[in-house]
């Protein structure tokens, strides 16, 4: 006789499961690899847990995979999570619109990401959540080429920060706006915003976010040919903490660019640079590597994420958007 999920949960050390779940939720932001290890430990048992607990495990794992820029794994988790999301009555709809939107954005489906963030904004009344979704929508708007809309969203985010002060969101908005300025080749202004984001994040021990801001600041300094400041920048955290594979490739490109720009002699670059670039799944990192490659005159092969004929109909996340009028069903 099959043990029903609730009985399983009551019989098999639910206090330990919940303690590990809490740890996974905390680790997902800054130590995603550890969060995923916990998820994998309990993955064989998930179907014996109540749907609400399943959903929490899937959510922490999806967040962790997205923070690692492991988009294939994140997509798989989001697909597997959908039944438990539906079984629990689709709680926190705006949160899951946003979560799926992050996958779309990082995967290069910026229009779908923008719709997802607009879905989230349309159903939330919480100013703190509005702030997060507005900042994300600004990024997506930039990637679809609507810089006017991006600036409107950034302006809204700054107004929301006055209502709902939040240093970590202030850092996120600064980092995201820095990316907009970088795309406009306003490198000095971008560097200033990345510096601000890094300063705010360092005060709150957000390691993964600090790594991101450090890498982006390094890129903006190189693009601005500010090699002296590039050298002075404290990069110690990049060796103290484990970077995701995509971040590691990004860092290799940045260091290679510095070698080229600072050397009076030709520099022999790693022959794997271009091949490694093709393995990056995060659209933002792909874009930044392309800017660095152009800076040092390194030709790159076409990246799959930039191919206009890529198909979206197999993303299989439409179940999250059945009630969203913004979203175009595949």
Q: Collect all residues with Cβ–Cβ distance below 8 Å to 1 and sequence separation of at least 6.
A: none
Q: pLDDT-derived band of residue 328, with 50, 70 and 90 as boundaries?
A: low
Task: Tokens for 80, please give them.
Answer: 């597997």
Q: Collect all residues with Cβ–Cβ distance below 8 Å to 268 and sequence separation of at least 6.
A: none
| Rounded mean pLDDT, 26-54 | 92
State the DSSP code for 296. Answer: T
| pLDDT of res. 314 | 52
| Rounded mean pLDDT, 103-118 | 91
User: pTM value?
Assistant: 0.84
Domains in the chain, start-ordered, CATH in brackets?
A: 1-6+13-26+40-66+75-90 (no CATH), 92-165 (1.25.40)
Q: What is the pLDDT of residues 288-324, one digit of tens each?
A: 999 999 999 999 999 988 764 455 545 568 888 888 8
Q: What is the pLDDT of residues 155-214, one digit of tens each?
A: 999 999 999 999 999 999 999 999 999 999 999 999 999 999 999 988 776 788 899 999
Q: What is the pLDDT of residues 201-254, one digit of tens each?
A: 887 767 888 999 999 999 999 999 999 999 999 999 899 888 989 999 999 999
Task: Tokens for 55, please give them.
Answer: 């959903």
| pLDDT of res. 321 | 86
Q: Map residue 186 onto helix, strand or coil.
A: coil
Mean pLDDT, rounded, of the chain:
89
């Amino acid at each position: 006789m099959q043990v029903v999920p609730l009985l399983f949960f009551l019989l098999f050390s639910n206090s330990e499961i919940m303690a590990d779940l809490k740890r996974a939720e905390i680790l997902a932001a800054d130590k995603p690899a550890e969060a995923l290890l916990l998820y994998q430990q309990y993955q064989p048992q998930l179907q014996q847990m109540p749907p609400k607990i399943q959903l929490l495990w899937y959510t922490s794992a999806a967040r962790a995979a997205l923070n690692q820029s492991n988009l294939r794994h994140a997509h798989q988790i989001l697909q597997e999570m959908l039944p438990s999301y539906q079984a629990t009555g689709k709680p926190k709809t705006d949160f899951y619109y946003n979560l799926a939107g992050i996958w779309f954005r990082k995967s290069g489906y910026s229009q779908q990401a923008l719709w997802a963030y607009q879905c989230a904004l349309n159903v939330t009344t919480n100013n703190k959540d509005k702030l997060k979704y507005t900042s994300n929508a600004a990024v997506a708007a930039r990637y679809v080429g609507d810089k006017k809309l991006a600036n409107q969203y950034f302006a809204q985010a700054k107004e929301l920060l006055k209502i709902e002060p939040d240093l970590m969101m202030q850092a996120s908005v600064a980092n995201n706006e820095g990316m907009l300025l970088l795309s406009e080749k306003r490198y000095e202004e971008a560097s200033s915003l990345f510096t601000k984001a890094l300063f705010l994040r360092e005060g709150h021990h957000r390691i993964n976010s600090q790594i991101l801001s450090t890498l982006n600041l390094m890129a903006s300094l190189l693009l601005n040919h500010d090699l002296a400041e590039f050298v002075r920048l404290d990069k110690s955290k990049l060796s103290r903490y484990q970077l995701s594979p995509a971040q590691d490739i990004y860092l290799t490109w940045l260091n290679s660019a510095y070698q080229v720009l600072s050397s009076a002699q030709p520099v022999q670059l790693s022959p794997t640079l271009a091949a490694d670039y093709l393995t990056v799944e995060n659209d933002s990192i792909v874009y930044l590597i392309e800017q660095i490659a152009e800076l040092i005159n390194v030709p790159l092969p076409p990246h799959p994420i930039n191919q206009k004929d890529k198909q979206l109909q197999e993303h299989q996340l439409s179940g999250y958007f059945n009630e969203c009028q913004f979203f175009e069903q595949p």
